[in-house]
Amino acid sequence: MAEQGDVIGSEIQRELPVAIHAQISDRFRSRIASGEWPANYRLKSEPDLAGELGVSRGTLRRALTTLIEEGLLKQVRGRGTFVTSTTIEPAIAQKLSTLTEDFAKQGIETDTEVIEAVLIDPPRPIAALLDVARGGAVLKLVRRRSTAEGPVALLYNYVRADLAPGIEGVDFATTSLFGTLERQFGLKIASARRTFSARAADGIVARYLDLAESSPVQYLEQVTYLADGRPIEYSDVWIHSGRLRVTSMLSRR
């Protein structure tokens, strides 16, 4: 994936009889349509984008406003500008915790099987969500969580290796991912965007969760951010709905 600063500025053609803000919105729109900027991708800050484009913040804001009005972007106060999802996502505030932490609090014994732990050049959508430049590496960590009843969750995690050098050598069969990032690498995990949906289990998911193919499973997608706003981890999680239910305690105010 090309970094934003490599190409965006060169795409502005000031000699054309087309408003610069319209050129910017066209470029951003095409990146969203192509999947280079996937759903929930966070754009760089307005000062950074304006600097890379070589335009004023006012011009940039006109371009962003156009895409916000079209429903392609949305702005979250204190968080930034994001590519919108194609599905309705109600905002549910809750404490950020992992399955390992939740199981431990409930006194549930689990077994973790590490299926794969290897550094990879990430797929383009994941590279965009993690803000990883072309040629960068992420840890691909695939695990299966089981209780006495059998498999309950299949987890695919992608972690920025530049922020946690040597993470591929950690034994995640006995160590939690977030705990490792916080304690071993001194990273402060602050927030995450988590989306739930219903899916049909494909061959791989069905096999690892001991389900018939196309059985319903709960799917969780998450992007995790550090306190300084940098994305650190992306995850896909499939949950065996017959063995594990996800419950949220919510407050009206």
Name the band, by pLDDT with cuts 50, 70 and 90, for residue 249: low
146 phi, psi to nearest 5 deg: -135, 150
Domain shared by 32 and 107, yes or no: no
Domain shared by 22 and 77, yes or no: yes
Residue ending a domain, among 83, 117, 147, is 83
**Burial level of 94, CB count in 10 A (0-12/13-18/19+)?**
exposed
Domain shared by 73 and 105, yes or no: no
Domain shared by 105 and 203, yes or no: yes
Interval 43-60: pLDDT, tens:
999 999 999 899 999 999
Q: Provide the number of structural domains found in the chain.
A: 2
Helix (H, G, I), strand (E, B) or coil at 204: helix
pTM over 0.85: no
Percent helix / strand / coil, the chain, rounded to 5: 30, 30, 40
DSSP state of 229: S
Domain shared by 228 and 110, yes or no: yes
The CA–CA distances, whole Å, from 150 to 11, 145, 211 equal 53, 9, 11
What residues pair up with 196 in beta bridges, in sequence order?
A: 220
CATH number at residue 68: 1.10.10.10
Contacts of 68 (CB under 8 A, 6+ apart): 74, 75
What residues pair up with 242 in beta bridges, in sequence order?
A: none
CATH number at residue 117: 3.40.1410.10
What residues pair up with 220 in beta bridges, in sequence order?
A: 196, 237
Interval 93-143: pLDDT, tens:
455 666 666 666 556 678 999 999 999 999 989 999 999 988 899 999 999
**Burial level of 78, CB count in 10 A (0-12/13-18/19+)?**
exposed
Domain shared by 73 and 128, yes or no: no
The pLDDT, as a whole number, for residue 189 is: 92
Please give the residue range of the domain that contains residue 217: 99-239
The tokens for 139 are 């840890």
226, 189 contact by CB (below 8 A): yes
Interval 201-224: pLDDT, tens:
999 999 999 999 999 999 999 999
Domain shared by 156 and 234, yes or no: yes
